[in-house]
Structure 1
């Protein structure tokens, strides 16, 4: 991925979108997702950023894990969102877990405006979600569930 241009707050216009956000929350068109809310993945942790992606499977993970961790029935929601300000590569996955940014994962301190709910996304299989939840639990037990925020 030598031709990849890192995404920074000063240089994010080259990412075409569409942009997505997966969550447990039921939102309406026009609602805004804002920083300063509790993490979907760690109780009591207030997040300084809002996360977005260009990849449906990545948004699906966000939706499904948030819903499962909250004990909700169903896979959660995937929304098409519009960034209202600059964004950057998500340092939690970019070049750490995955070289480059194949998951299309970004973060911003600015609100994300809901444009639509994506109705036709395919959830990950239940056994894959259970495997991911087990992996998150193991990281938490080891004290390695670090979120760089």
Structure 2
């Protein structure tokens, strides 16, 4: 299993020691309440998630540690990419915030729009279901 470090991207303002928990709406399908909390070992992958998160706050990437068992994210592992090249994971247990990671690569406005367009197309496609 991946030993990290691990990252979580969001627009929430968090502090060291805060716990991130499942039970919130998906960033990609807001009608779905998630049973897991998602994270990655790729800092820029967490940055992408932060940029795509809903809300008007600034995107933030946090260094996190799982407090319980975790598994490969089935939404990308083998469903879209063989293996787990995105080093994406999920857990039903909380993630503890260890600090903020300010040194991640921001997307250009044009690249961010491409990702938003992809999400819009995914929402319209019934095959874009989230494995929850």
Aligned residue pair count: 132
Correspondence for 2:74: 91
Q: Work out whether 1:29 is the aligned partner of 2:16.
A: yes
Correspondence for 1:122: 105
RMSD: 1.3
Correspondence for 2:118: 135
Q: Does the CA-based 8 Å contact 1:52-1:107 persist in structure 2? A: yes
Q: Residues 57-76 of structure 1: CA distance to partner in whole angstroms, max 9, x if unpaired? A: 2101110000xx43x254x1
Of 78, 82, 91, the match for 1:108:
91
Q: Which entry has the higher C-alpha Rg, 1 or 2?
A: 1
Name the CA distance, whole Å, in 2 between partners of 1:126 and 1:73.
16
Structure 1 residue runs without a partner (length 5+): 1-13
Name the CA distance, whole Å, in 2 between partners of 1:63 and 1:73.
10
TM-score (normalizing by structure 1): 0.83
Superposition misfits of 4+ residues, deviation over 6 angstroms: none
Q: Residues 42-95 of structure 1: CA distance to partner in whole angstroms, max 9, x if unpaired? A: 2232110000100012101110000xx43x254x11000010001000000011
Structure 2 residue runs without a partner (length 5+): none
Correspondence for 2:31: 44
